[in-house]
Structure 1
């Protein structure tokens, strides 16, 4: 699989759709204009290969939604990874 490129236009689309978190594949190249917009719009970028960052984000979401069972959170993490891998390593934007 080749590298994907994240452009300013991609980030603008995510932002205007209400997304504040962007999950990107480990091979994604973030262009400078996209990085500037990510910083100025306070969009969180999580690389899918960064287990620590991904797990921390998920724990925050679980707590925010009243889910305190660690086993359940880990199961959700597994399901998210599976769904994201089914997308073929493409970038995914979500609301925070």
Structure 2
């Protein structure tokens, strides 16, 4: 069960990023997205890193940034496969595939 729990700091930052992006504040969303990736880069649980990569890939896709969506999706698929995170592997696989088009 702990495999899918998230650090509340990661969850809050993820939804904060989505909120700013949905409100049309792309500059702040981009800044928050980068901060989220830095926070989950080292020392975080694989599920937290996967969540951060998902947020990065979704927002990148929404902005038309095919390269970032594909690379974050690909990193998430690899991470999900290594740690048995089937949900994140599937969700990020969609974004990786979108980035390949």
Kindly indicate which of the two structures has a greater share of residues assigned to helix: 2
TM-score of the aligned structures, taking structure 2 as reference length:
0.28
Larger Rg: 1
